[in-house]
Amino acid sequence: MRSWHEFITMGGYARYVWSAYGVVLIVLVASAWSSCNGLRRILFRVRNYPVGGGEQ
């Protein structure tokens, strides 16, 4: 990469390259959020409903 402009335009492939990296970012962040949220929810359940673990 020689300049900021070349980095952004990706030699004319910006649309494809940045779309691909954007999709990856969205899916990886969503997976992380979903995983952390799942653990947070189950911890809340077992702490507040220790016998049955809350709803099934």
Partner 1 sequence: MFTWLHKLGSPPLLYRVAGRSTPWFKWTAFLLLALGLVGGLILAPPDYQQGDGFRIIYVHVPSAILSLAVFVLMAVAGAIGLIWRLRMAHAVAVAAAPLGAAFTFITLITGSLWGKPMWGTYWAWGPRLTSELVLLFLYFGYIAVINAFPNQRSGDRAGAIFAIIAAVDIPIIHYSVYWWTSLHQGASLSFTNSSISPAMLWPLLVMIVAFTLYFCWLLSIRLRTEILRRERRASWVRTLTITGAKNAKLA
Q: Which residues contact partner 1 (rule: CB under 8 A)?
A: 1, 7, 10-13, 16-17, 19-21, 23-24, 27-28, 30-32, 34-36, 38-40, 42-43, 45-47, 50-53
Helices (DSSP H) in the chain: which residue ranges?
4-9, 14-48
Give the separation between CA 8 and CA 11, rounded to whole angstroms: 8
CB of 11 to partner 1, least distance (A): 4
User: 53 near 46, Cβ under 8 Å?
Assistant: yes
CB of 37 to partner 1, least distance (A): 9
CB of 45 to partner 1, least distance (A): 7
